[in-house]
Every structure is written in C-alpha cells, then in structure tokens.
Amino acid sequence: GNSVTQMEGPVTLSEEAFLTINCTYTATGYPSLFWYVQYPGEGLQLLLKATKADDKGSNKGFEATYRKETTSFHLEKGSVQVSDSAVYFCAVSDRSQGNLIFGKGTKLSVKP
C-alpha cells in the first residue's frame, strides 16, 4: 500500500532562514500529494497539494514539486517567519477515495 517517509524533527531555524523538509513516498498508480500544517492549538489544515507529476503546489510562500522519478515531494520556503512554527505533515492519497496516508510529521520552530 501507499506510504510516506518524511524528515524527522524537530527543526529549529532562525527567522528568514531557508527551509527544506524532505518527503518521499511509495504508491501504486498516480496518487495526489499533499502538505498539511498544524499550528499550535489548531486543527490540521491543507497547506498545498499537487495532483500530477511535475506539478508545483504553492501557498503562503511554501512550495513543493511532485517528482515522480525520485518519488519525492519536498517542502521549501525561502524565508521562514516565527508564525510558520508548526508541525508539517506530508501525505499521499488514494486517488479514487481520497483517504490520506500521512508521514509522522516534522515540528518546525522558528526563532526571532
């Protein structure tokens, strides 16, 4: 079945630093890929997604590109802010039903 492996945390960065959180997946067929974010005290929310190879998802300055050849969907942001401190989850979906398979999550802390 589908699975996701993402970079272990926690990750601590200074404000304006460059962020990369690695994510690789195994899946049959052509799944959709997602990054979800969980801010402190809040529920999970979709950050960005990509539905086919070479698609780039982007939102709030974050980007991730669907790389089928390397089965990866790494999350990047050029300049992080304190408000980006949260737990980030990479996920792959079953295309027909949409149920999500999540990675373990990466906790990001951004210091001023």
Partner 1 sequence: GAGVSQTPSNKVTEKGKYVELRCDPISGHTALYWYRQSLGQGPEFLIYFQGTGAADDSGLPNDRFFAVRPEGSVSTLKIQRTERGDSAVYLCASSLTGGSNNEQFFGPGTRLTVL
- List of residues contacting partner 1 (CB under 8 A): 4, 31-32, 42-46, 49, 51, 89, 91, 93-105
Taking the complex as a whole, how short is the minimal distance between the CB of residue 32 and partner 1, in angstroms? 4
Residues 6+ apart with CB under 8 A from 84: 19, 77, 108, 110
Q: Which is nearer to partner 1, 11 or 44 (CB)?
A: 44
Beta strands in the chain (DSSP E): 3-6, 11-14, 19-21, 23-26, 33-38, 45-50, 56-59, 62-65, 75-77, 86-93, 100-102, 106-111
Taking the complex as a whole, how short is the minimal distance between the CB of residue 79 and partner 1, in angstroms? 26
Taking the complex as a whole, how short is the minimal distance between the CB of residue 20 and partner 1, in angstroms? 19
Q: Which is nearer to partner 1, 46 or 82 (CB)?
A: 46
Q: Which is nearer to partner 1, 86 or 101 (CB)?
A: 101
Strand partners, 48: 35
Q: Which is nearer to partner 1, 42 or 69 (CB)?
A: 42
Taking the complex as a whole, how short is the minimal distance between the CB of residue 89 and partner 1, in angstroms? 5
